[in-house]
Amino acid sequence: MSDVAYAKPIRVFHSIFAFCMLTQLAVGTLMDVPEVEGEHEASTWITSAFAHEAEHGMGSVEETLGFQVHEILGLVIGGLLVLRLLLAMTSLPGANWRKLFPWLFADGRQALKDEVQSQLSSWMKFKLAAPKDGEVVARSVHGFILLFSLVMAATGLQLYLGWSTIAPQTMWIELVAEVHEAAVTVLEALLVAHVLAVVLHQMQGHNILARIKP
Ligand code: HEM
């Protein structure tokens, strides 16, 4: 068995993905969203306006630079996630989807339960076990980060195709935007937990950064 926790492609992926995601979250918070005020377009659930094919006629709003960067970076992140999904189907160390989603399998759910039971009292004291003593929970947090990033990317793609700068959004697009924003909130909470766990591991001498450094 290999001693390497994460294969080189996963480690390179992590650096690029973390950079893109942190930039995207910052841009998404700071940007101005080009929106035409008013009632929902023809109260329809169907995407009626294709923002990127629309002619900019009277009453259209300009896309800001921040919004354009957000769109392009979103497409890049979508591509990175497809790449990570492909890696998850390989047997490269640290890549496999079974480790990311242990709760999908009976033995994985048991391992999660055992780890929580044996480590919960230490976690309450902000003390984390070294990865060699159990990392089922940590890996499933990584799985949730990827899962919610996927929700963000899928809803973002739908918004990219359907967002209108010439008319009020359809109800469907409004709903997709709500899901997109809710996914961002969950993701931010997961990332705070992720980075806090990394800091605690480093302080407790587990040097987990060495496992993921490209
Ligand atoms: C300051 C920023 C960050 C640091 C220091 C950091 C550090 C780490 C470390 C040390 C690991 C390996 C954990 C282990 O030993 O098992 C890891 C894994 C991981 N991190 Fe981060 N991380 C950061 C930001 C992010 C961001 C922004 C994301 C995603 C939005 C992310 C997603 C992941 C994922 C998914 C894994 C598991 C690797 C995989 O399966 O692809 N990290 N991170």
What's the gap in Å between 194 CA and the centre of ligand 1? 7
Beta carbon of 138 within 6 Å of any ligand 1 atom: yes
Report how far residue 72's alpha carbon sits from residue 64's, in angstroms, rounded to the nearest whole number: 13
Task: Report which protein residue has its CA nearest ligand 1's atom 34.
Answer: 142
Check: pTM over 0.85? Answer yes or no.
yes
Residue 74 banded pLDDT, cuts 50, 70, 90: very high
Alpha helix segments (H runs only) across 31-135? 65-87, 97-100, 106-124
Q: What is the pLDDT, as a whole number, of residue 115?
A: 97
**What is the per-residue pLDDT for 35?**
85
Residue 1 maps to a domain: no
Cβ distance 10 to 92 under 8 Å?
yes
What is the reported pLDDT for 39?
63
Per-residue pLDDT, 47 = 47
**Residue 150 domain flag:** yes
Domain annotation covers residue 90 = yes
Residue partners of 69: CB distance under 8 A and separation at least 6 = 27, 31
pLDDT at residue number 54: 47
How many structural domains comprise the chain?
Answer: 1
List, for residues 157-179, the tens digit of each pLDDT value: 999 999 998 888 999 999 999 99
Asked whether residue 1 carries a pLDDT value surpassing 60, the answer given is: no
- In this structure, what CATH number is given to the domain that contains residue 68? 1.20.950
What residue numbers bound the domain in which 60 lies?
A: 8-212
Question: Which of 163, 161, 175 lies closest to 31, judged by CA?
Answer: 163
Nearest residue (CA) to ligand 1, atom 33: 142
Task: Indicate the DSSP class of residue 188.
Answer: H
- CB neighbourhood size of 161 (10 A): 15
Q: Is 22 in the pocket of ligand 1 (CB under 6 A)?
A: yes
Summarize pLDDT for 39-68 with one digit per residue, the tens: 655 445 544 444 454 444 456 788 899 999
Residue 74: is it exposed, middle or buried by C-beta count within 10 angstroms (0-12/13-18/19+)? Answer: buried
Q: Hey, CA dihedral for 76, 185, 169, 42, is it positive or negative?
A: positive
Terminal-residue alpha carbon distance, the chain: 21
Q: Say if 135 falls within a structural domain.
A: yes
Q: Which of 85, 141, 212 to mutate to test the pocket of ligand 1 (most atoms within 8 A of CB)?
A: 212
**Torsion-angle region of residue 143: left (phi > 0), alpha (psi -120 to 50) or beta?**
alpha
Nearest CA owner, ligand 1 atom 1 = 195
Cα 105 to middle of ligand 1, angstroms: 23
Tokens of 114: 């055992």
pLDDT at position 208 is 96
Residue 2 domain-assigned (yes or no): no
Degrees (nearest 5) of the Cα angle 29, 31, 33?
Answer: 110
Closest CA to 156 of 21, 42, 30: 21
Mean of per-residue pLDDT scores for the chain: 90
Pocket test for ligand 1, best of 142, 151, 185 (most atoms within 8 A of CB): 142
Does 9 sit in the ligand 1 pocket, CB within 6 Å?
no
77 Cβ below 6 A of ligand 1: no
- Position 166 in a domain: yes
pLDDT value at residue 3: 73
**Region 124-141: what's the mean pLDDT?**
95
Q: What is the pLDDT of residues 5-27, one digit of tens each?
A: 999 999 999 999 999 999 999 99
Tell me whether residue 39 is in a domain. yes
CA pair distance 177, 66, nearest whole angstrom: 17
Q: Indicate which residue's Cα is closest to atom 37 of ligand 1.
A: 142
